[in-house]
Structure 1
Amino acid sequence: MGGKEQNRYAEILLSCIEEKYFKDEIALEHHSFARIISGEMKVVQADRSYLFGPGDTMLFPCNQLSTLIKNPKNGLPYKAIVIFFRPERLKDFYSRNPPQFTQVDNYQIKTYKKHPLLESFFASLIPYFDLESELPEKIISVKIEEAITILSALDPNIDNVLADFSQAEKINLVDFMERNYMFNMNMERFGRMTGRSLTTFKRDFKKAFNNTPQKWLIQKRLELAHHQLSNEGRKPIEVYLETGFENLSHFSFAFKKYFGYPPTSQKKEADQ
């Protein structure tokens, strides 16, 4: 697996994956606005999944756990333009453009149909990635403000997300873990996502589940994989990434150790 990012300006970048696939599990610190140029990206979240291809445009709200699986397709590498909206940029924008709040937003990924404003905006960014020097700060500022302005014009509910500057608080641990156990993060990251230090996270987890996080996570991921193999007829190679395992051999070993038989036998039973 491999990937690279060209012209790594802190806030505007080109992501390029040239090998077979690239998997990453993220909880973005900042809202990100993206356009797929070529290739394909599957996004798996706790309650749904998405598949994006060339020309698709989306906004990822910050602090939402997601598994990203990026693949070249049709002989072309995976390429995407990504823009990060830092809080200081957003606060400056909304200090001059008061937000228009509507109904409560569900903070899911937002997708946008093709529109002349979007097409011209992303087309204007592509030449910047041929620069050998860094993009001037003033241009970065102008282009990010343009992006926010376009989203405001296309999405009447966007201010509910971009203008929400509330800080993360300690959240319900059981609810969070039951929805996000398939994401392969370390314990420190799970703690931060639930508003806890590592020590507090482990203590609260033991109290809630009467188990260690590591043992509980492996068990839940294996049970999810078992369900997908036996009830949905999927193949081991199709489920191991989505259920939090880094490679197929580790998944197969853990599955056989836990259930007493290899995951391939589940696929055979489902076919009968």
Structure 2
Amino acid sequence: MSSYWTLPQEIMLPCIQDKYFQHEVISGDHSFGHLISGEVKANIGDQTHILKPGDTWFVPRNQLATFFKSSKDGQPYKSVTICIRVERLKEYYSRHEPVIVADQHHGIRQYEAHPLLESFFGSLLPYFDLEEGVPPAIVSVKIEEAITVLRTLDKTIDRWLANFSEPGKLDLADFMEKNFMFNMPLQRFAYFTGRSLTTFKTDFKKAFQVSPQRWLTQKRLELAHYHLSEKKRRPADIYLEAGFENLSHFSFAFKKHFGYSPVEATTRNAF
């Protein structure tokens, strides 16, 4: 059972009993969250972060990340997540001067326990008990408070919060090799590489001599095969990480490509 109370998707209070599920962060919003119970494995590029109850995180907008969330120790996955939108940030920084400090940090940022974090996220917990969720007027107040808390605890955060630019043109081959496991439409891959869909397809064919769809499927199947044959993981535990939406489609595609099932792959040597 899962429940998401949102207003309007800016403050999320999920309480989910599922043992294991996936959530991909590929939006144009910054994500600021606190884990109450359960566990999260966050994959960002070639880095993996394990989040446990009490942990607080920030993921910049336009940062590809996959969160694998699960219940743990008999407790459901439960968190408070704030989506900080560009529109609100533009209004905020029209009243506050940003302090831009050089920062080479990319990907997820984690924050140690602090009274400001405890107070801020704790103030949102009572809304778990309201069917209607967080009232609109309070959403605005809490978003501004979230920005203030972040700026107080992280002196480099303005570099991200006050940056309203869109992704520039990236090296397509390098980007795709690092992010092929993200299950998103080609339009999103094109956006994150700074291209129109038409230009993306043209540049992709030049780089890989094959269509994006075929290349993505093959790369995801090869990744799945590695986890099964080398790491001896179960098909049900890896199909999401490899970029497939459901287990049955993954099993069908895997057997069609390799000639044997995912379960059989666990008893074979790597190809």
TM more than 0.5: yes
Mark the CA change 1:31 to 1:67 in structure 2 (over 3 Å): closer, same or farther.
Answer: same
Give, in angstroms, the shift of residue 251 of structure 1.
Answer: 2.2
- Indicate if the aligned counterparts of 1:41 and 1:71 stay in contact, CA closer than 8 A: yes
Segments of structure 2 that go 5 or more residues without pairing to the other structure are: none
Give the corresponding residue for 1:246: 245
- Indicate if the aligned counterparts of 2:11 and 2:134 stay in contact, CA closer than 8 A: no
Please tell me the residue identity of whatever aligns with 2:230. N
In 2, Cα distance between equivalents of 1:3 and 1:173: 37
1:186-225 aligned within 5 A: 186-225=185-224
1:39-58 aligned within 5 A: 39-58=38-57
* Identity fraction in percent: 54
Give the corresponding residue for 1:33: 32
In 1, Cα distance between equivalents of 2:208 and 2:63: 23
In 1, Cα distance between equivalents of 2:31 and 2:41: 16
SS of alignment partner, residue 266 of structure 2: helix
In 1, Cα distance between equivalents of 2:135 and 2:245: 39
Please tell me the residue identity of whatever aligns with 1:102. V
- Higher mean displacement: 156-165 or 111-120: 156-165
- Indicate if the aligned counterparts of 2:14 and 2:78 stay in contact, CA closer than 8 A: yes
- Higher mean displacement: 115-124 or 192-201: 192-201
Mark the CA change 1:135 to 1:218 in structure 2 (over 3 Å): closer, same or farther.
Answer: closer
Find out whether 1:89 has 2:88 as its counterpart.
yes
Give the corresponding residue for 1:14: 13
SS of alignment partner, residue 41 of structure 2: strand
Find out whether 1:157 has 2:156 as its counterpart.
yes
Give, in angstroms, the shift of residue 78 of structure 1.
Answer: 1.3
Give, in angstroms, the shift of residue 138 of structure 1.
Answer: 4.2
Q: TM-score of the superposition, structure 2-length normalised?
A: 0.89
In 2, Cα distance between equivalents of 1:205 and 1:124: 48
Equivalenced residues, count: 270
Give, in angstroms, the shift of residue 61 of structure 1.
Answer: 0.9
Per-residue deviation, residues 176-214 of structure 1 (Å, max 9, x unmatched): 111110111122222222233322222221122110111
Segments of structure 1 that go 5 or more residues without pairing to the other structure are: none
Give the corresponding residue for 2:106: 107
- Indicate if the aligned counterparts of 2:167 and 2:191 stay in contact, CA closer than 8 A: no
Q: CA RMSD in A?
A: 2.3
- Higher mean displacement: 110-119 or 183-192: 183-192
Please tell me the residue identity of whatever aligns with 1:6. W
SS of alignment partner, residue 97 of structure 2: coil
SS of alignment partner, residue 100 of structure 2: coil
Give, in angstroms, the shift of residue 163 of structure 1.
Answer: 1.5
Please tell me the residue identity of whatever aligns with 2:93. Y
SS of alignment partner, residue 268 of structure 1: coil
SS of alignment partner, residue 236 of structure 2: helix
1:113-124 aligned within 5 A: 113-124=112-123
- Indicate if the aligned counterparts of 1:105 and 1:161 stay in contact, CA closer than 8 A: no
